[in-house]
Chain A
Amino acid sequence: MKPASIAELQEQVVSSPCLTLHGAGTKPGLHLYQNGVTILDTSGLTGVITYQPEEFTFTALAGTRLAEIAKLLEQHGQYLPFDPPLVERGATLGGTVAAGLSGPGRYRYGGVRDFLMGVRFVDGQGRLVSAGGKVVKNSAGFDLPKLMVGSLGQYGALVEVTFKVFPRPPAYATLKASYLSIEQALESLYRITTAPLDLFAVELVPGNAGLELWVRLAGRAEALPERLERVRGVLGGGEVLDDRSEHGVWRAAREFTWLAEGASLVKLPITPGTVLALDRMLAEHGAVRRYSVGCNLAWVGWPAPIELLDHLLRDFPGVSLSGLLVLGQGGQPRLGARTGAYFARRVKLALDPQGRWLGD
Chain B
Amino acid sequence: MDAAALLGALADLYPPDRLLTQSAQVIPFESDGLTSFRAHPLAVVLAQNQEEVIDTVRLCYRHEVPFVARGSGTSLSGGSLPILDGIVIALNRLDRILSIDPLQRLAVVEAGAINLNVSKAAAPYGLYYAPDPSSQLICTIGGNLAFNAGGAHCLKHGMTSNHVLGLKVVLPDGEVVRLGGQSLEGVGPDLVGLFVGSEGLFGIALEATLRLLPSPESFQTVLAAYHSLEAAGHAVARVVSSGILPGAIEIMDNLAIQAAEAAVHAGYPLDAGGLLIVELEGETSTLQIEFPELLEIIRASGPYEVRVAQSAADRQLIWKGRKSSFSAVGRLSPDYLVQDGVVPRSRLGEALAEITRLSSIYGLQVANVFHAGDGNLHPLILFDGNQPGALERAKALAGEILEMCIRFGGSITGEHGVGVEKLEYLPRMFAQADLEVMRALRRQVDPLQIANRGKMLAYAQP
Contacts and interface: CB of A to CB of B under 8 A. Distances in A.
Contacts of B434: 129-131, 141
B126 to A, nearest CB: 6
Interface stretch (B29-37, B90-98, B261-269, B337-345): B337-345
B183 interface: yes
A19 interface: no
B175 interface: yes
B348 to A, nearest CB: 11
A145 B181 CA distance: 20
A36 to B, nearest CB: 24
A101 to B, nearest CB: 9
Contacts of A152: 188-189
A147 interface: yes
Contact of B215 (A129, A196, A340, A353): A196
A127 B189 contact: no
Q: How large is the interface on A (under 10, 10 to 19, 20 to 34, 35 or more residues)?
A: 35 or more
Contacts of B244: 167
A139 B159 contact: yes
Interface of B: 101-106, 125-127, 147-148, 150, 154, 156-159, 161-162, 169, 171, 175, 177-198, 201-202, 214-217, 237, 240-245, 282-283, 285-286, 288-290, 342-346, 371, 374-376, 409-418, 422, 426, 429-431, 433-434, 436-438, 440-441, 443-445, 456
B286 A137 contact: no
27 contacts: A54-B237, A54-B240, A54-B345, A129-B433, A131-B430, A135-B343, A137-B411, A138-B342, A138-B410, A139-B159, A139-B411, A139-B417, A140-B430, A147-B191, A170-B243, A194-B102, A194-B105, A195-B126, A219-B286, A230-B283, A269-B183, A271-B182, A297-B185, A324-B187, A334-B187, A339-B178, A346-B445
A350 interface: yes
Contact of B413 (A100, A140, A344): A140
A297 B184 contact: yes
A146 B190 contact: yes
Contacts of A137: 150, 154, 159, 342, 371, 374-376, 411, 414-415
A297 B191 CA distance: 18
A196 B217 contact: yes
Contacts of A136: 342, 345, 374-375
Given A190-B103, A297-B185, A343 B171 contact: yes
Contacts of B193: 113, 143, 145-147, 149
Contacts, number: 281
Contacts of B414: 137-139
A232 B414 CA distance: 41
Contacts of A143: 148, 161, 193-194, 196-198
B243 A139 contact: no
Interface stretch (A67-75, A83-91, A208-216, A221-229): A221-229
Nearest to B417: A139
B123 to A, nearest CB: 12
A110 B189 contact: no
Given A197-B217, A296-B184, A342-B177, A138 B411 contact: yes
Given A127-B436, A223-B289, A146 B194 contact: yes
A213 B189 CA distance: 31
Contacts of A350: 437, 440-441, 443-445
Given A52-B346, A127-B437, A137-B375, A269 B186 contact: yes
A46 interface: no
Contacts of A223: 283, 285-286, 288-289
| Leading 5 A-B pairs by shortest Cβ distance | A146-B193, A269-B185, A269-B183, A138-B411, A196-B217
A100 B190 contact: yes
B413 A194 contact: no
Given A127-B436, A138-B413, A147 B190 contact: yes
Nearest to B212: A194
B196 A150 contact: no
Nearest to B102: A194
Contacts of B157: 109
Interface in A144-203: 144-152, 154-155, 166-168, 170, 190, 193-198
Contacts of A53: 241
A310 interface: no
A134 interface: yes
A196 B443 CA distance: 46
A127 B426 contact: no
A230 B127 CA distance: 19
A150 B187 contact: yes
A152 B409 CA distance: 29
A296 B185 CA distance: 7
A349 interface: yes
Interface string A234-274: 00000000000000000000000000000000010111110
B217 to A, nearest CB: 4
Contacts of B197: 139, 142-143
Contacts of B181: 269, 320, 339
A220 interface: yes
B386 to A, nearest CB: 32
A344 B195 CA distance: 11
A123 interface: yes
A106 interface: yes
A271 B194 contact: no
B188 A349 contact: no
A347 interface: yes
A355 B195 CA distance: 22
A29 interface: no
A186 to B, nearest CB: 9
A223 B285 CA distance: 6
- Residue from B105, B430, B437 with most neighbouring chain A CB atoms (10 Å): B437
A17 interface: no
Interface string A307-350: 00000000000001011100000000010001110111011011
B73 to A, nearest CB: 19
Given A342-B177, A343-B171, A350-B440, A323 B187 contact: yes
Contacts of B243: 77, 167-168, 170
Contacts of B184: 106, 111, 269, 293-294, 296-297
Contacts of B285: 223, 226-227
Contacts of A324: 187-188
B180 A135 contact: no
B441 A347 contact: yes
B188 A322 contact: yes
B104 A272 contact: yes
A114 interface: yes
Interface string A35-50: 0000000000000000
B342 A193 contact: no
A171 to B, nearest CB: 11
Contact of A142 (B102, B177, B198, B433): B198
A344 B178 CA distance: 11
A139 B413 CA distance: 6
A8 interface: no
A166 B242 CA distance: 11
Given A152-B188, A269-B185, A350-B441, 14 more contacts: A127-B433, A131-B434, A137-B159, A139-B150, A139-B416, A143-B198, A146-B194, A150-B187, A170-B243, A194-B105, A195-B126, A220-B290, A339-B177, A342-B171
